Amino acid sequence: GAVVSQHPSWVICKSGTSVKIECRSLDFQATTMFWYRQFPKQSLMLMATSNEGSKATYEQGVEKDKFLINHASLTLSTLTVTSAHPEDSSFYICSAQSGGSNTGELFFGEGSRLTVL
Amino acid sequence: AQSVTQLGSHVSVSEGALVLLRCNYSSSVPPYLFWYVQYPNQGLQLLLKYTTGATLVKGINGFEAEFKKSETSFHLTKPSAHMSDAAEYFCAVSGGYQKVTFGIGTKLQVIP
């Protein structure tokens, strides 16, 4: 099956620093990748949709200057949390859709737990 | 437009008992339906999906779900719960080349 790898799994950083999270599709080309944020005991909140080679589309209420998304290739998307603050602490999950699929099926990364001190 | 309703944010069953997690959806186009499972501090794993064809879909770990168009439902079942089934389960709907919409999730607790 299709595999999506997310790195790092855990990251702790100081307030004011920036953190980059990578999402890679290992065995398929992901034309579209999605970034989610998940608060404790809550569902997934879609943050943005990224298509290879174009600017990401952000959901309402998500600060695009705070959460920088780059989808430079068909196998890699990155999320950079800039000037992180404690309220940015959360579980971030990426997912990818294969270009060959029309069902919308998503393949998820393992998630990245961000803790901002 | 599409939406998903999962009835019951928490479900508890005894080990060996039937598992039933409810999901109702709305979609303006023929839906594709999914169930995902999430273990603590992990991403989501696909349990099963309905795209077209047979309405009773079998997935991994003994789970199955039935697409009922007349009831706009896609309930997830497993005949006999195992301790390892304790996790959070998400129902999702897609209209194809559209965003996937998730339900709020149902946390399954299995009591020994």
**Substitution target from B100, B104, B108 for chain A, most A beta carbons within 10 A:** B100
**pLDDT of A51:** 87
Residue B98 has pLDDT above 70, yes or no: no
**pLDDT of A116:** 96
Residue B95 has pLDDT above 90, yes or no: no
Q: How far apart are CA A45 and CA B102, in angstroms?
A: 9
**pLDDT of B110:** 97
Q: How close A104 gets to chain B, by Cα (Å)?
A: 5
pLDDT category, A1, cuts 50, 70, 90? low
Interface of B with A (CB under 8 A): 32, 34, 36, 41-46, 49, 51, 90, 92, 94-100, 102-105, 107
- For residue range B8-20, what is the model confidence (pLDDT) as tens digits? 899 999 999 999 9
Residue in this structure with the two tokens 């304790």, named with its chain if needed: B86
A-chain residues near B103 (CB < 8 A)? 43
Interface contact B49-A43, CB threshold 8 A: no
**pLDDT of A2:** 81
Q: How close A56 gets to chain B, by Cα (Å)?
A: 14
Token readout for A90 is 């959360």
Minimal-distance CA residue of chain A relative to B92: A105
- For residue range B18-62, what is the model confidence (pLDDT) as tens digits? 999 999 999 888 889 999 999 988 888 999 999 888 899 999 999
Q: How close A110 gets to chain B, by Cα (Å)?
A: 4
% of residues, chain A, pLDDT over 70: 97
Neighbours of A67 (CB within 10 A): 19
Q: How far apart are CA B73 and CA B20, in angstroms?
A: 12
- For residue range B101-110, what is the model confidence (pLDDT) as tens digits? 899 999 999 9
Q: What DSSP assignment string belongs to A12-78?
A: EE-TT--EEEEEEESSS-EEEEEEEEE-TTS-EEEEEEEETTSPPEEPTT--TTTEEEEEEETTEEE
CA atoms within 13 A on the CB side of B48: 21
Q: How far apart are CA B34 and CA B32, in angstroms?
A: 7
Q: What is the dihedral of CA B5, B49, A110, A26, to 10 degrees?
A: -150
- For residue range A15-29, what is the model confidence (pLDDT) as tens digits? 999 999 999 999 888
- For residue range A89-109, what is the model confidence (pLDDT) as tens digits? 999 999 998 776 677 788 899
**pLDDT of A30:** 86
